[in-house]
Amino acid sequence: MAREVFTDVAGLRVRHLEEGRGAAVVFLHGASLGSSADVWAANLDDFAARGFRAIAPDLPGFGLSDDSADHSVAFRTAFVPRFLDALALDSANVVGHSQSGRIAVGLALKQPDRVAKIVVVGTASMLPPLADAAGTRSDDAEGDEGGSKETTLEDARRMLEANVFDRTLVTDAAVELRHRMSTGRNFAAFVARQGAKRGKSGGESQPLWQRLAEVNVPMRLIYGRQDRAAEKRVELARSRYPGLDIHLVDRCGHLVQWDVRERFAALVSDFLKP
């Protein structure tokens, strides 16, 4: 069972879950309301059993970690090397789910010496968008799931069920935990992130999906076939980047690591092996 650790990271009290010994793998959760390291809790044992040191932090503003004054993805990207420093790690493998796939790719582009290999899981913004009938592009709102009011238990259940193929995985305990991580200061941090996003002028000069060929760190992308038009967009990515290491897994929604736990562990661990 993973142990819970609290560490000072550049002045922030940060919680992470950890299990196993070996090459370090940092698992980054997404940014939707209620996200936390706990989304990986059931997976850490699988990687520890395969000879890895599996580490899953609550990013700032999530779970039981302190919030920061900066609510941007750029800050959370810069946070990861600081977290590695706090754990005395020169580098690590990084697995990023949903919005955190952008963090993994951003690190690979900007600080490739800090990441050995990266795995992107269910990150819509890493795939070419589909044009709708009017010729406009689909909008990736990954990490924006959440309302203008604190969630109820039933809201938390609906959000989880919308992200899995197998709804039996959404247990009462999972719902209660998600709800607990969605309220109070975590809800306030979510509102602050939304406000920061609305107030941001402009954006990335070039979408990261257009820069995948620039990533020199070994990279694997994994998507659930039943997740948000993923199948068509994965095919677009394959046509644009024929050499891309990308996998489309059947009977999976957005939470691939929940829907096909063993398959996910095999796909990631086989890739991360030296």
pLDDT tens for each residue of 92-114:
999 999 999 999 999 999 999 99
pLDDT of residue 228: 83
| Residue 140: pLDDT over 60 | no
**Token couple for 219:** 């990279």
pLDDT of residue 225: 97
| Residue 127: pLDDT over 70 | yes
pLDDT tier for residue 229 given thresholds of 50, 70 and 90: confident
Give the residue among 150, 142, 140, 131 at the shortest CA–CA distance from 236.
131
pLDDT tier for residue 119 given thresholds of 50, 70 and 90: very high
| Residue 198: pLDDT over 70 | no
Kindly state the average pLDDT of the residues 73-84: 97
**Token couple for 225:** 């076939």
Looking at every residue in the chain, the average pLDDT score rounds to 93
Give the residue among 69, 117, 64, 121 at the shortest CA–CA distance from 93.
117
pLDDT tens for each residue of 147-171:
889 999 999 999 999 999 999 999 9
Name the CATH architecture for the domain at 3-128+143-199+209-272.
3-Layer(aba) Sandwich (3.40)
Kindly state the average pLDDT of the residues 5-11: 97
pLDDT of residue 135: 41
Give the residue among 230, 54, 234 at the shortest CA–CA distance from 142.
230
| Residue 134: pLDDT over 90 | no
The strand order across the sheet containing 246-249 reads 3-9, 12-19, 52-57, 23-28, 92-97, 115-121, 219-224, 246-249
CA gap 184, 269 in Å, rounded: 36
Kindly state the average pLDDT of the residues 231-250: 96
Using alpha carbons, list the distances in angstroms from residue 33 to 29, 65, 144, 178: 11, 14, 7, 8
pLDDT tens for each residue of 30-74:
999 999 999 999 999 999 999 999 999 999 999 999 999 999 999
Residues in the chain: 274
The ranges assigned to domains in the chain are: 3-128+143-199+209-272
pLDDT of residue 185: 96
| Residue 197: pLDDT over 80 | no
pLDDT of residue 138: 44
Angle at 106 between CA 102 and CA 107, to 5 degrees: 120
DSSP element (H, E) containing 222: strand 219-224
pLDDT of residue 266: 98
